[in-house]
Amino acid sequence: MNVISGCCQASALTPPDDTLAVVISNQWVNDEYKRLVLQADGAASQSLPGQFFNLLCPSEGEHKPYFRRPMSTYKADPATGQVEFLYKVTGKGTYGLETLGQAQTVEILGPLGKGFDLQPGWQHMIIVARGVGLATLAPLAEAAHRLGIRLTAVLSARSEKSLLSRERFASLGADVRVVLDEDGSSSPERLEPLLRQIIAREGTDALFTCGSRRLTQLLKKLSAELGLVGQVALEQQMVCGLGMCQCCVEVFEVDGLRVGKRVCLEGPVFDLAEVV
């Protein structure tokens, strides 16, 4: 299968740089998540869907993050030089990030890693995203839209209130399906028949997911059984983000062998068939 790199940019990946980016805005999008918009000319805005950055988060009071924090690209636009991140304010790193105001600067190392592979000939694909996985998959939806691939986006969340980016997916012409913990519709048992139904009706070519181990296992099963392309973006604790420190390894299964791969360099996007 001739798979080219995301959104028709078949050329080589842009090598990462450590960019001093300037904050354009840093606004709450709901009770838990903020959206950080940065001016980051150069390599940074060339980030492809699924790629990420390693952010040097500022200290906030007693919260002094020592490591950088990896964060997937929520949006990158080479035309404007802007890069966006969607993050949950949850720990030492993001407490500091949360305090960034307009015109302040932040060092962002990237774009890093290997993103999603899209094939222009596809007719239809399904994205199943949960939590901050929505941020990772939003650029993929844009790429699919540009390639004219029809898209169903299944957005999973605890409640209607914690749902993110519904409008962004909808504005890209995606058929948006919301599944929630609060009404039980997000359980793998309820999702499986829904996905099978969509696949059968739409002639789906590929499945993508991020943000949930249970959903990853469900999509791995479906893609294997139905012979569909399947990709997942993984999260892991990282230090360097460049493949040097070997702390972000995960176990994968390749040709029946257990193989350790670095999420930062060989990923963060992996073939669902390899995921254990």
Q: Which residues carry a binding-site annotation for [2Fe-2S] cluster? A: 240, 245, 248, 264
Which residue, among 2, 35, 25, 13, has the nearest Cα to 167 in the 3D structure? 35
Is-contact 94 63, C-beta < 8 A? no
Residue 114 or residue 168: which is nearer to another protein going by CB?
Answer: 114
Residue ranges binding another protein (CB under 8 A): 15-18, 56, 64-68, 107, 109, 237, 239-240, 242-247, 249, 260, 265
Least gap, CB of 236 to another protein (angstroms): 9
Least gap, CB of 163 to another protein (angstroms): 30
Residue 62 or residue 225: which is nearer to another protein going by CB?
Answer: 62
Least gap, CB of 5 to another protein (angstroms): 17
Least gap, CB of 15 to another protein (angstroms): 4
CB burial of 85-104 (b: ≥16 within 10 Å; e: otherwise) equals bbbebeebbbbbbbbbeeee
Which residue, among 158, 176, 154, 179, has the nearest Cα to 167 in the 3D structure? 176
Least gap, CB of 250 to another protein (angstroms): 9
Please state the residue numbers annotated as binding site.
69-72, 93-94, 240, 245, 248, 264
Residue 41 or residue 175: which is nearer to another protein going by CB?
Answer: 41
Residue 24 or residue 245: which is nearer to another protein going by CB?
Answer: 245
Is-contact 259 251, C-beta < 8 A? yes
Burial class (CB within 10 angstroms; exposed 0-12, middle 13-18, buried 19+) of 2: exposed
Please state the residue numbers annotated as binding site for FAD.
69-72, 93-94
| Interatomic CA distance for residues 179 and 188, integer angstroms | 10
| Interatomic CA distance for residues 120 and 262, integer angstroms | 28
Residue 89 or residue 247: which is nearer to another protein going by CB?
Answer: 247
**Is the peptide bond preceding residue 16 cis, with omega within 30 degrees of 0?**
no
Residue 56 or residue 135: which is nearer to another protein going by CB?
Answer: 56
Least gap, CB of 243 to another protein (angstroms): 5
